[in-house]
Amino acid sequence: MRITIRVKPGSARPGVGGEHDGALIVAVSARAVDGKATEAALAAVADAFGVRRGAVRLVSGASSRTKIVDIDAGDPRLLASLLATTGRLRPEGEDPGTAVPAGALGQARSQAREALRTGTSTGQPAG
């Protein structure tokens, strides 16, 4: 699956979720120096989609905040759920004022996976 991501380097609140001009927002704490933010963003995308890092490949945008990536076995329904998520993602029960590493997708990710498993979205039966 090919997607567009919008990287926000140097973020105090790393995470994956939300949308900017149709692109999935990926906030990372790494600075945009020597490709570190790009690598952190690719790792965060892999974690968000539940795939290994090698399954996420940069197609274009190595030096741009807007990047195109390929994800092996990426689920379009999970992408839709992440795009619809506003703000950063945090573990269940955590104080909304605390920062979360990009790898900790918590409750929103669990809910998205449960919706995919059961064929529901936003708690309503599909279809």
Domains in the chain, ordered, with CATH?
2-88+100-118 (3.30.1200.10)
Cα dihedral 15/19/23/24 (nearest 10)? 30
Q: 50-99: per-residue pLDDT in tens?
A: 999 999 999 999 999 999 999 998 888 888 889 888 655 443 344 443 33
Q: Is the pLDDT of residue 42 over 90?
A: yes
Q: What is the CA radius of gyration of the chain?
A: 14
pLDDT at 118 over 90: no
Q: Pick the residue with more confidence: 114 or 89?
A: 114
Mean pLDDT of all residues belonging to the chain: 79
Q: What pLDDT score does 74 carry?
A: 80
Whole-prediction pTM value? Answer: 0.68
Cβ-based neighbours of 86, under 8 Å, separated by 6 or more:
17, 18
